[in-house]
Amino acid sequence: MFRISQEVEQRHNTTSFYISTSKIGSANFKELGVKKEQLYEIDHLNFKLTKNPDKNYLHHAEVKYDFRIWDIWQVAAKRKKSRLKLSEDSILSLMESICKKAEWIAQHVKPDYAILCCVAGFHLVMMIRIFEKYGIEVLDFSNPRLPERFCFANELASNFPLLNRIYSERKQKGLTPSEIKESKEIIQRFKEEHFKPSDSTRVKESWPQVVRKYQRYLKIIYQRKKIPNFVNNLYYPIKEKVMRRFMSRFEKPVTGEKYVLFFLHVQPEASTSIMGKWYENQLNLIENIVRSLPCDYKLYVKEHVWNFSTRPRDYHHEIKKFPSVRLITPFSSSYDLIANSSAIVTITGTVGWEGILLQKPVITFGNVFYNVFDQVQKVEKIEELPAIIKRRIDTVVDLDQTLTFVSSVLASSFPGLGMIPADCQNRSLEPKNIKLLVDGLEKHVAYLRL
């Protein structure tokens, strides 16, 4: 964000302000040369908690900013066990402090835009709601599930405002020959390369990059005085090989079998905690899907390759208790599973987008950008699921409609990596990429002003 703001300042003579959410973040900003008067700290980890939170204030804040304290708290409670031990008053005191600080920034700093990346914490959810109420436009870098591209999202609703506009326009006027060609090329590329979003794609690192990465790890360990979670990546390859060899609870797909496909989500993660919060209990959701399927179809549940060795054995056994369920190994080809499926059900997963590219019927439960596609069915009431599956199973989505949507996703996204450095091996920090991000930022704002 610091490098993006520097580029914006050079182009437009703007003034940047920064919000840090930890003392470590504040120290890093100061090292970069950010002045004290430009830096505001909302340290959600080290607030002084009181025994007497102002519940009346919090109640009015819930009404004014359209959020619920306990709903927001659930976003973060599962991420850290120590938070589960906090008392009710401590939690409400923490929320009161964050809310008042965010209000002060909105009222006194009065920024035109709030730019951020990756809404995953309760403090960010609260800040966004407050900023929006004060007319501050929130621009959140997001991932359109296309390699080396980014867009801007309304993350709390998980939609892409520019996509919504362009898709509506292109449905009415149709596509040009060049737009059809571009869309077909994207689909064909997916069929040939089975590409993944950039945050799921690992690029081979040079030795200098490896050295800098480990230096960064050591710095974070020194600052936090503990081993951060991502250091698990250092021994994960060994752990993965052991688990892959000895774990027998998974199955492989059966040739010729008819099935509906469900990919397990990583948890805790914003994709379920924020965008799919009413369906976070995936075991319960799987049971409801099973109960909604025709008797001659299986439900294939594929475990996530990043989460399979961390979920307890009992969790997998709960899935396998249903006779019509196969728990598919995380090392099966996702592409083949999608291509051979009769339908895809997902909370907010990338599997839904990939199903669209292959003209598969897609059913969702959470808020995700591709819900805007006319051929995607979002479940509004769980009791309607059997009828939805009956109506959509084994259908083929019209190619022209698919091309229109793919074309709209492409047109509403921009070249570049709009993600936090840790998710793309720091490639988003490269000077060329920073310029691309600001180019896209300018175009996004200009398009929405038309």
The number of domains in the chain is 2
Asked, for residue 155, whether it belongs to a domain, the answer is yes
Q: What's the CATH code of the domain at 361?
A: 3.40.50.2000
Residue scoring higher pLDDT (86 or 68): 68
Across the range 136-157, mean pLDDT stands at 90
Q: Is the dihedral of CA 208, 210, 216, 221 positive or negative?
A: negative
Statement: residue 232 has pLDDT above 70: no
Give a yes or no: residue 216 inside a domain.
no
pLDDT score of 201: 60
Whether the CB-CB separation of 361 and 265 falls below 8 Å is answered with no
288 located within any domain = yes
pLDDT for 74 equals 82
3-state helix, strand, coil in the chain (%, to 5): 55, 10, 35
Looking at the fold, whether 271 and 373 belong to one and the same domain comes out as yes
Largest CA distance in the chain: 66
Confidence of residue 309 (pLDDT cuts 50, 70, 90): low
- Is 375 in the same domain as 277? yes
Give per-residue pLDDT as tens, 375-395: 999 999 999 999 999 999 999
What is the extent of the structural domain holding 34?
2-164+413-449
Clarify whether residues 147 and 281 are in a common domain: no
Range list of H helices, 294-398 = 313-320, 334-339, 350-357, 385-392
Question: What would the mean pLDDT of 245-250 be, rounded to a whole number?
Answer: 68
Q: Is there a single domain that holds both residue 152 and residue 252? A: no
End-to-end CA distance of the chain: 26
Amino acid identity, position 192: E
Q: Are residues 395 and 445 in the same domain?
A: no
Residue 379 in any domain: the answer is yes
* Domain match, 442 and 329 both: no
Average pLDDT over residues 230-256: 65
* Cα(34)–Cα(28) distance, integer angstroms: 9
Domain membership flag for residue 237? no
Q: Are 375 and 106 in contact (CB under 8 A)?
A: no
In a domain, 199, yes or no: no
**Is residue 169 a contact partner of residue 163, using CB atoms and an 8 Å limit?**
no
Residues 424 and 389 in one domain: no
Q: Please check whether residues 142 and 22 belong to one and the same domain.
A: yes
**378 φ, ψ (degrees, to nearest 5):** -90, 135
- How many residues would you count in the chain? 450
* β-pair partners for 364: 346, 378
Domain match, 265 and 153 both: no
Indicate if 386 and 417 belong to the same structural domain.
no
In a domain, 184, yes or no: no
Which contiguous run of DSSP H or E holds residue 1? none
User: Above 80 in pLDDT, residue 221?
Assistant: no
Mark whether 296 and 267 lie in a shared domain. Answer: yes
Question: 420 in a domain, yes or no?
Answer: yes
Res 104 pLDDT > 60: yes
